[in-house]
Each structure stands twice: as C-alpha cells, then as structure tokens.
Amino acid sequence: MHIDPAGMPWNDVYKYLIGAVLPRPIAFVSTVDGEGRTNLAPFSFFTVVAANPPTICFSAMRRGSDGAKKDTLRNIEDTKEFVVNIVSEGIVPQMNQTAGEYPHGVSEFDQSGLTPVASHKVKAPRVGESLVNFECRLTQIVEIGGDEAGAGALILGEVIALHVDESVQREGKVGIDTAALQPVGRLAGSDYVRVTDTFELERKK
C-alpha cells in the first residue's frame, strides 16, 4: 500500500507515524512560566542528541484542537530552561493525569499529586518521584510546520545537571540499571510498553 501524506489529513498521518515509530521513551517535562507557576507534561517524541556537550531533545506538537502552543513550549521560550524527568512504571498513573488539557496557569503537579523538588541549576522543579532527572538549558528551538494544528517545535537542551537515584545506579559501574529503573515507553493510541524483555547483541568490530 502506497500512502501520500500530502493527500491525507495530518491527524491520519500522525496515526501512522506513532504506530510505526516505537517504542518511544517519554520526556516528562517540568517548566515554570515567567511568574514562577509550574507546569508538567509528557512528550513521547524524545531522544538524545549528543554526549559532548550532553544534549537531549523533545518535540512539543501544537494542540490538535486549535494549533495553539502548549504551555511547556511557551515557558521554555520565556525562561530558556526545563527539566526532563524519566517515567518509571511507579508513576505512570500520575504521568497520565498530567496529559490532559488544563487551563493556563493550572499546575499539573497539583493535579497529579507529584512532588516538585527544587533543582540545582534551573528554576523549574524536578519531579521528586522520578528516579532520573535532567536539568536543561535551552540550546535551540526548531519550528516545523508553522502555526497549524499538528505542527511542532523541536526543543534541544544541554544537560547542565543530572540527578540519579541510588536505587537505579549500576553497582560498581557508571550508568543506569534498566531493570531497577523500570522505564515505560509509549506506543500508539492508549498503549504503553514495559522494558522487561531484553537481549544482548555484541556489535561487530
């Protein structure tokens, strides 16, 4: 079957994209606005860009209902800072609670019951229940698609502080214990995935 995206509604193309590009890690992004009000939202277009300098990115799509920018993007434009919190299985219900559309100025920390914890280098708080947090300073925003519904903004940030709970630190080694972290990934629709079935494959020299 051949599909021409130009001849389809954007939200139908979106379903093919999220149904094939998977599993997708979740960037649970906390920000503050210019008045210090907190915001918290999950984004599943998320990955690592570079290690030197340590840089990660996520994409904030415009709202499908009206094409408006989400509060996360507006806050990052204003403050040039954000925190990416990793979602483990234990906080999935609270993460899902933050995914709804709330009026501007309403804190998803309050709605979800998650705990805002002061960061070390940025004004945005970390999620206390998250086992890994990346404090980020904005590097660049790349706008894709203008101001139409379904358009997006690729947000790149340099990691300037990293928090790792001792429970997920690899014993005797540098890095994260995946089994202890229990990360959750995003699939299509309402589906998620646990990282419980892994295998090892040596890369050829």
Domain boundaries, the chain: 27-187
Share of the chain above pLDDT 90, in %: 87
Q: Is the pLDDT confidence value at 47 over 90?
A: yes
pLDDT at residue 116, as a whole number: 98
Please enumerate in sequence order all residues whose Cβ is within 8 A of that of 82, keeping only pairs 6 or more positions apart, or say none: 29, 30, 31, 72, 75, 76, 122, 124, 136, 138, 155, 157
pLDDT at residue 67, as a whole number: 81
Share of the chain above pLDDT 70, in %: 100
Q: Is the pLDDT confidence value at 182 over 80?
A: yes
Q: What average pLDDT does range 190-203 have in this prediction?
A: 93
Neighbour-count burial for 123-162, b at 16+ CB within 10 Å, e otherwise: bbbbbebbbbbbbbbbbebeeeeeeeebebbebbbbbbee
> In the numeric block, which tokens belong to residue 67?
């094409």
Structure letter (DSSP) for residue 170? P
pLDDT at residue 103, as a whole number: 87
> In the numeric block, which tokens belong to residue 126?
């970390």
pLDDT at residue 189, as a whole number: 93
Q: Which fold has domain 27-187?
A: Pnp Oxidase; Chain A (2.30.110)
Overall pTM > 0.85:
yes
Q: What is the pLDDT of residues 61-112, one digit of tens each?
A: 988 777 889 999 999 999 999 999 999 999 999 999 999 888 888 899 999 9
Q: Is the pLDDT confidence value at 27 over 80?
A: yes
Kind and range of the H or E run holding 43: strand 38-43
Q: What average pLDDT does range 113-141 have in this prediction?
A: 98
Cβ atoms of residues 108 and 102 within 8 Å: yes
> Within 13 A of 67's CA, how many CA atoms are on the CB side?
8
Q: Is the pLDDT confidence value at 134 over 80?
A: yes
Cβ atoms of residues 177 and 168 within 8 Å: yes
pLDDT at residue 144, as a whole number: 95
> In the numeric block, which tokens belong to residue 192?
């998620």
Structure letter (DSSP) for residue 108? H
Handedness of CA 24, 193, 190, 103 (dihedral sign): negative
Distances from the Cα of 187 to the Cαs of 30, 122, 176, in angstroms?
A: 22, 31, 23
Q: Which amino acid is at 115?
A: T
